Amino acid sequence: MEFSEKALLALIIPFAFGIVFPLFELYVQLDVFWISALELFVFSIPFYFFLLETPDAFLAFPSAFIFITTKGFIKGYILGKTFCLVDSLIFPIAFTIYAGAIAFHRESAFKEARLGLLSTFLLILAFSIALFIWIVYKQYVTVCPYAISPREVLGFPVRLSSWFCRRFEMLCW
């Protein structure tokens, strides 16, 4: 797989996940710890298939940025809340750490079995570190100095959201 194909996947996948995941998150209504772990794990599954070399992990930052920004806009528009731009930096940093471990694991597992076993432990450690960063940020950062309103940015009338909330009551509270 060439780098251009990987870059295209790194742009398409987060946009699709950014549209679908907030609807799932609002429908399921799990605790912030569980939804953060699920978000990090589910978003990383496609990357496990096309991050074959360690330098490919640099695709993770723009991909995670697109994902969390799209998710924030969709969720903020549905709920009528603001979206914090700092989220668009914290999650990509955490995900890039995890994606680097994924790429290293994939590359080393093909070369030598012992190194592949060690990289499996590094993969679990990187997932734990990334999840710790994301959960601590989501749990303890309550005031955002750089918040924007998706409804104001997109310019859609509020009636569309109220129609949406009447049709899908479980998504709006």
Q: Cα(65)–Cα(88) distance, rounded to whole angstroms?
A: 5
Closest by alpha carbon to 135, among 21, 17, 38?
A: 38
pLDDT in tens, 107-131: 887 777 777 778 888 888 888 888 8
Find where tokens 């496609």 sit.
Answer: 46
CA 158 from chain centre, in angstroms, equals 27
Mean pLDDT across the chain, nearest whole number? 79
Q: Which of 23-27, 110-114, 160-164 has the lowest mean pLDDT?
A: 160-164
For the chain, the structural domain boundaries read 3-171
Whose tokens are 């129609």? That residue is: 163
At residue 152, the pLDDT reads 63
Residue 6: is its pLDDT beyond 70? yes
Q: For CA atoms 77, 8, 59, 30, give the dihedral sign.
A: positive
With a cut of 80, say whether residue 147 has pLDDT above it: no
Q: Are 64 and 92 in contact (CB under 8 A)?
A: yes
**Is residue 6 within a helix (H) or strand (E), and if so which, with residue range?**
helix 3-28
pLDDT tops 60 at residue 57: yes
